[in-house]
Structure 1
């Protein structure tokens, strides 16, 4: 199967593509800043508003994910047909404004309402961004491009942890929300100028065949379900996402409760782990997976399985050893390994679906990943922590986090199984004017 496209060759086109990717990195970084802000501010918010771990888990997980994941589907359908640039900019402004309003929360319900607003805004940016990148980069470079864009995750987390910790200690948690949200609103017009809408790719089964601009919804859903390569890859990501989001959400409170770090100290630690180690993992995973795929089409799946499986033993050491130094060293490896699959999973799923459903297929990936991972992981971890608190006190969280490592092990096995449905043929550079899916 092939995608017919015109490969940008001129310096101006290359520059335009780089500017677009930079803009998408900025947008995605603010996505993670606004999504992460509640995780680092859990400590003062819990004290002032009197929330339980279960309620905090719901705010950072289930309540957010329900709206974020489900709304990504209809917005992705719009992105497959209408201007992705407008969708991205509107999403940025909406979620930034709602982040600023979180500073007005007076209790669980009001904070829940504003967080739902953040989720609604963020639902539109990722599917549209992935679709834009897939249309501008050939298949053999797609994982590297996706991973470069994915650097927004460690960048956003690093900026978020460092700035939010400082803002909270300087201005208080309420003004920290307002400051972060205001910056995102101001960025909207700048991002609009930086992105150019490219021509959409069309899949061809013969030299003169052409696909419709968008498959009907029922046909698109049926095609994705029948696609075993896509289905099992998504399942593996969903399982690992449960563990990943649990760790990302609860790592800061863990180091505070189990090792006595202050808000400023834990903010710096999380920034270094997410920024430095996370950047190495996310970019290195994409770079290595492209080279593995150049030898065997299943290489990206092997990379995902290996990195996800390695998270389990390192995380067990992080949460169970009494030494803070050993725990931090293990956490450094975890920070790199747990997101090394990011670029490869986006590239591998985009390579096995019809280009007319690229944004929609990514929304399906996000739906399952976020409902089970982001939605259930932090919430279930919080509930387990609450249940163990009578017996273990402040140490309950370390045992709750140890329990939720199991899904990552299952995710690694699922990625290995998914590799059976990928073509063994190496992903080679496409001839000029043709993009191999």
Structure 2
């Protein structure tokens, strides 16, 4: 259990929703934009990387999804815990610097494995950003505007994804025009390598700006001030150790006895067996070894959290609406990253669109529609929430349902303008849904656990959606192509299979409607019942 005392007091008078709070929001928004530029640029570079390195669609899906996601998910949990107990601006500064280095280093990769290693590093660095940013923004803004604020922050997804596509396409075209003979280019660099270097290096300037921000009082805007943790790295070190196979057993034994060690060993054996079976069936050891390690790390983290902080553990796993939001929302993400990554290669293969055109059209649309979508979603959700407690959830459900239908229409069209238009509609309404989702997750947690629950939500989101979605669609596309189906049609059919998982996710979240009002109203009572020292 946490030994940090929580004191109820009037909302701190400092750091109200003034100009400095919005300055902090602008800087954190830029961080999130860079986060998604460095992540999404791979989509526009995919066809060039595939041709240059001679890799398959499944390997492309691994680079975009699993290689990034497993490290993002596992380190996100540890960094989320660190953000709940340490200086959040320092954490973001260090993480941003590291992922910028790894993005630039991707441009020096000459093979699949070195590029995968760089993607591992990008995942580690980017894991530091959002949990700490959510926690900071909750301490800078009042409850009445938080969904809108998180919606503005979340627009970084669309802005960054759009800029990544636009910049990547422009750099590919510009480099090809400058050096039509690749062998004559400086250091023999290809266009896709230059693109990684160009978007990675500016992150260091932004890291300097983040380092200059002021750290607000944790929980001050909620009148629930949390004392600083005197040993934040000890807690995080224990958490990382708790996710490490074999090395975690002595700690589990001290805290939970022989039963805890046996449970962990049994879980590890089951996970390893499942991963081995999937690797045998798919002939892809790297994918399923990475997934197995990630799933084991998550189980071990949850086991450690239950022993070290049963209050936060209980609030996560015993709050019906929260666990439904996280699981169902993550299932819908199976569609979104996969579509964001594979739609550009689909345009190139199915409609013979070149990278420059695809980057310009999709990049501009993703950025513009994403911004308006998250702003609209935040405003609508905040307004509906004032009239009935399920307002945020209704906004999410409506946005995701419309997004799903539009994506289905786009992939079943033979008209390029119609495919563009309906995918734009899909992206807009998916953006509408994002802010309300993460806001609801944070509404159902104490201030001292918000970064942890955000990290957990992102971890599940990343493992289900990002690690599996792009890879499985690539794997299905490879299998269909091997059977003789044309590559563009094979990719289209593979993408359609991902939409079915989204339907399941929407149905799961729908069951949270009757729980969310009661769960939010009873948060402090549940925390006290779990042993939280409220006074």
- After TM superposition, the score normalised by the length of structure 1 is 0.92
Equivalent residue in structure 2 for 1:414, among 500, 505, 508: 508
Contact 1:139 1:351 in 2 (8 A): no
Q: How does 1:105-120 map to 2 (within 5 A)?
A: 105-120=109-124
Corresponding residue number in structure 2 for 1:281: 373
Q: How many residue pairs are counted as aligned between the two chains?
A: 422
Residue number among 34, 37, 40 corresponding to 2:41 in the alignment: 37
How far does residue 5 in structure 1 lie from its aligned partner after superposition? 5.3
Q: Does 1:197 align with 2:289?
A: no
The alpha-carbon distance between structure 1 residues 235 and 392, as it changes in their structure 2 partners (threshold 3 A), is same
Q: CA shift at 1:7, angstroms?
A: 5.2
Structure 2 vs 1, CA of residues 259 and 72 (structure 1 numbering), >3 Å: closer, same or farther?
A: same
Where structure 1 has 5 or more consecutive residues not aligned to the other structure, the ranges are: 428-437
Name the CA distance, whole Å, in 2 between partners of 1:19 and 1:211: 24
Paired with 2:13 and 2:428, the residues of 1 have a C-alpha distance of 33
Q: Give the gaps of 5 or more residues in structure 2.
A: 1-6, 176-190, 230-304, 522-535
Q: 1:127 to 1:425 in 2, by over 3 A?
A: closer
RMSD: 2.3
What does residue range 213-252 of structure 1 map to in structure 2 within 5 Å? 216-252=308-344
Check if 1:6 corresponds to 2:23: no
Q: Is the 8 A contact 2:442 2:450 kept in 1?
A: yes
Candidates 317, 321, 339, aligned match of 2:413: 321
Contact 1:318 1:331 in 2 (8 A): yes
Name 2:60's counterpart in structure 1: 56
Compute the displacement of 1:212 (Å): 6.3
Q: Is the 8 A contact 1:72 1:363 kept in 2?
A: yes
Alignment of 1:35-434 (within 5 A): 35-171=39-175, 172-193=191-212, 195-201=213-219, 216-389=308-481, 390-394=483-487, 395-423=489-517
Choose 375-384 or 408-417, whichever is displaced more. 408-417
Worse-matched range after superposition: 146-155 or 216-225: 216-225
Determine the C-alpha separation between the residues in 2 that align with 1:5 and 1:107. Answer: 57
| Residue in 2 that maps onto 1:435 | none
Q: Please identify runs of 4+ aligned residues in structure 1 that moved more than 3 A.
A: 2-5, 7-11, 209-219, 424-427
Name the CA distance, whole Å, in 1 between partners of 2:396 and 2:210.
Answer: 32
SS at match of 1:41: helix
CA distance in 2, matches of 1:102, 1:425: 45
Query: What TM-score does the superposition give when structure 2 sets the normalisation length?
Result: 0.75
Cα distance, 1:203–1:85 mapped onto 2, change above 3 Å: closer
- Tell me by how many angstroms 1:4 deviates: 4.6
Contact 1:304 1:415 in 2 (8 A): no
Indicate if the aligned counterparts of 1:236 and 1:414 stay in contact, CA closer than 8 A.
yes
Q: Report the CA distance between 1:90 and its aligned residue.
A: 0.7
Structure whose CA Rg is larger: 2
